[in-house]
């Protein structure tokens, strides 16, 4: 029965029943209520590009080290190595020459020559052995992008570095009186042999590297 054209059942359906009392979602409501909020926040998100981040690329493939623009196993060429020796020779030779001159002025030419030769030999060997065994490169090699490695890689030992730089002792003793010419000649011959063997070796290892057990100079 209706009063004044108003149907209470209809009002209950509009206000208390379907529309406001008991929520009802149509197809659009279900799409936003279930798919967007349910799937996006209730379930793990799905990515179209998930294959780029799965374990196939990060879990199983080996890690590739970054490329810094050089090949550390590339052997050092002859000319850069000679240039490094010249730089190192100046670093060692200039201070020892000054000390030798001072000693000669104080003790005389003969004693100055003897002490100068010994000092030059000790300074040269100490310079090369210390830097090669602690840093793998002298100042000259660092400037020209070279370094010394042991036979199995890594830094050379003191014995290996001493052996490969031993010809400096012979060359430095060229400052001795009387016998200096002979030592100087032997030093020149040793330098020529080392240069020829470096140039003829596919791995650029000189005779001094061979005597040291297989040390090598590489770029990088």
**pLDDT tens digits, 129-179:** 999 999 999 999 999 999 999 998 899 999 999 999 998 888 888 777 777
**pLDDT tens digits, 63-121:** 444 433 334 468 999 999 999 999 999 999 999 999 999 998 998 888 888 888 889 88
- Name the helix (H) or strand (E) containing 171: helix 167-172
Model confidence band, residue 46 (pLDDT cutoffs 50, 70, 90): low
What confidence score (pLDDT) does residue 175 get? 74
Residue 126 Cα to chain centre, angstroms: 25
- What number is the average pLDDT over the span 192-201? 95
- What number is the average pLDDT over the span 9-24? 45
Structure token pair of residue 50:
């998930």
What confidence score (pLDDT) does residue 179 get? 76
Place of tokens 């080392």: 194
The mean pLDDT of the chain is: 76
Cα distances (Å, whole numbers) of residue 75 to 34, 80, 135: 66, 11, 18
Phi, psi at 68, each rounded to 5°: -95, 10
Residue 44 has pLDDT above 60, yes or no: no
Residue 41 has pLDDT above 70, yes or no: no
| Cα–Cα distance, 156 to 172 (Å, whole number) | 23
Residue 12 has pLDDT above 70, yes or no: no
- What number is the average pLDDT over the span 51-65? 44
CA angle 140, 144, 149 (to 5 degrees): 75
- The predicted model scores a pTM of 0.64
What confidence score (pLDDT) does residue 184 get? 82
Backbone conformation region of residue 180, classed left if phi is above 0, alpha if psi is from -120 to 50, else beta: alpha
What confidence score (pLDDT) does residue 36 get? 47
Residue 154 Cα to chain centre, angstroms: 12
3 bridge partner residues = 6
How would DSSP label each residue in 61-119? SPPPPPP-SS-TTSBPPHHHHHHHHHHHHHHHHHHHHHHHHHHHHHH-HHHHHHHHHHH
What confidence score (pLDDT) does residue 73 get? 60
What confidence score (pLDDT) does residue 1 get? 45
Q: Which residues contact 26 (CB under 8 A, 6 or more apart)?
A: none
Structure token pair of residue 70:
């050089």
Structure token pair of residue 109:
């030419």
């Amino acid at each position: 029965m209706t009063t004044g054209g108003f149907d209470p059942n209809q009002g209950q359906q509009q206000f208390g029943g379907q529309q406001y009392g008991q929520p009802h979602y149509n197809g659009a409501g279900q799409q936003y209520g279930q798919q967007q909020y349910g799937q996006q926040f209730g379930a793990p998100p799905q990515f179209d590009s998930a294959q780029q981040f799965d374990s196939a690329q990060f879990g199983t493939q080996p890690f590739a080290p970054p490329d810094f623009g050089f090949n550390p196993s590339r052997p050092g060429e002859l000319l850069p190595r000679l240039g490094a020796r010249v730089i190192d020779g100046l670093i060692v030779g200039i201070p020892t020459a000054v000390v030798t001159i001072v000693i000669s002025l104080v003790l005389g030419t003969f004693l100055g020559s003897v002490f100068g030769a010994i000092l030059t030999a000790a300074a040269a060997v100490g310079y090369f052995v210390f830097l090669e065994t602690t840093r793998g490169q002298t100042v000259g090699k660092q400037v020209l992008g070279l370094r010394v490695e042991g036979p199995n890689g890594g830094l050379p030992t003191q014995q290996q570095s001493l052996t490969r730089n031993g010809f400096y002792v012979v060359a430095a003793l060229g400052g001795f009186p009387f016998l200096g010419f002979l030592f100087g000649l032997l030093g020149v011959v040793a330098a020529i042999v080392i240069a020829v063997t470096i140039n003829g070796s596919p791995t650029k290892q000189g005779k001094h590297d061979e005597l040291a057990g297989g040390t090598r100079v590489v770029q990088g």
